[in-house]
Amino acid sequence: MVNITYQDKVYRCRKGESVLDAALRQGVNLQFSCRNGVCQVCLQRAVKGELPKASQKGIKEKLRARGYFMPCVCRPRSDIEFESPVADDLYFTATVAAKERLSQHIYRIVLEPSLALDYHAGQFINLKHPDGTTRSYSLASVAGEDYYLELHIQRMPNGVMSNWLIDALEVGSEIEMQGPNGNCFYQPASIDQNLLLIATGSGLAPLVGILRTALAAGHSGQPAAAWRHWLVYCARHWRPGTAGRFIFTMAAGWPKGFIWLIHCTN
Ligand SMILES: Cc1cc2nc3c(=O)[nH]c(=O)nc-3n(C[C@H](O)[C@H](O)[C@H](O)COP(=O)(O)OP(=O)(O)OC[C@H]3O[C@@H](n4cnc5c(N)ncnc54)[C@H](O)[C@@H]3O)c2cc1C
Ligand code: FES
């Protein structure tokens, strides 16, 4: 058992327990989403003590140096003290430039960030609801080619953030965002590897960006292979006029050796 100190109060953290679980168990209200060290929604700032390496994996160098860590995967071996994040360290605003329905459950939201953003296709950003709820959304846009950030939001039944983004957030309004985050993106060093991209629903978003980046980088795959690039996409509802237009337009510019499959279930 070790002590974790948050906002001058001391809490007990059991052996093998994460800081997030220990805090929630003792009534501390911390933000979280994936609980798995992926989304960075739970970021907090350590001011004393030794952080396990895993709790800072994937966090930007600048933030790591300032003590930011992910409590959901932080299992401390000795006492630590932490504070809430400094808002300006993480968040900045973006303006909603457009909103469009792509399929029965998926909407395209286009954002203009207030800062120039350098990101890799396949990364994601975190958006903050006015009540503080924060959720991650993958980027479908490509840095350097697209001026705006593009997101594909799937409506979740009774979901706090997705329903607010789709129904309440108006074009022209501002939203707080953080990022980009994530280590799953296209590696231009491997242009001779074949690509297999599989997505369902809004999972198409990061793959669109990855594919566009790969093709712009001259991704060749193995020339002797029967296939070099595959995109397998599964959708519950298929509307050729919306999401379909999106894929067909892209496919028109794709090279020989490219196969794409779409499977729909209802
Ligand atoms: C790296 C990453 C990238 C992502 N990219 C995208 C993306 O590009 N597009 C996208 O649409 N999503 C994406 N997501 C998922 C997204 O972050 C949200 O999880 C999603 O939008 C749902 O959030 P919500 O607030 O609407 O729903 P929540 O309020 O979190 O609820 C989710 C579901 O759980 C149910 N639920 C909530 N509480 C309970 C409870 N107590 N008991 C039982 N059921 C409950 C809700 O009814 C709902 O159906 C991504 C997630 C990650 C981690
Ligand atoms: S809740 Fe997603 S990284 Fe901690």
Give per-residue pLDDT as tens, 233-264.
666 665 544 455 566 666 666 655 555 555 55
Q: Which atom of ligand 1 is nearest to the CA of 138?
A: 8
Q: Sign of the C-alpha dihedral, residues 71, 6, 137, 104?
A: positive
Measured distance CA(62)–CA(196) in Å, rounded: 33
Q: Using an 8 Å Cβ cutoff, are 78 and 49 in contact?
A: yes
Domain boundaries, the chain: 2-85, 88-181, 188-264
Residue-wise pLDDT tens digits, 45-103: 999 999 999 999 999 999 999 999 999 999 999 999 999 999 889 999 999 999 999 87
Ligand 1 touching residue 161 (CB < 6 A): yes
Residue-wise pLDDT tens digits, 103-143: 788 899 999 999 988 899 889 999 999 999 999 999 988 88
Q: And the tokens for 40?
A: 């960075």
- In the chain, where do the E strands start and end? 2-6, 9-13, 44-48, 68-69, 80-83, 91-101, 106-113, 124-128, 134-138, 149-154, 174-181, 195-200, 229-235, 258-264
Ligand 2 geometric centre to CA of 33 (Å): 6
Tell me the CATH architecture of domain 2-85.
Answer: Roll (3.10)
Tell me the CATH architecture of domain 88-181.
Answer: Beta Barrel (2.40)
Ligand 1 touching residue 205 (CB < 6 A): yes
pTM for the model stands at 0.87
Q: Please tell me if the domain spanning 88-181 has the same topology as the one spanning 188-264.
A: no
Ligand 1 geometric centre to CA of 157 (Å): 9
Given a cut of 60, whether residue 23 has pLDDT beyond it is: yes
Q: Sign of the C-alpha dihedral, residues 110, 115, 121, 126?
A: negative
Q: Does domain 188-264 match CATH 2.70.210.12?
A: no
Ligand 2 touching residue 32 (CB < 6 A): yes
Measured distance CA(170)–CA(160) in Å, rounded: 16
Ligand 1 geometric centre to CA of 106 (Å): 13
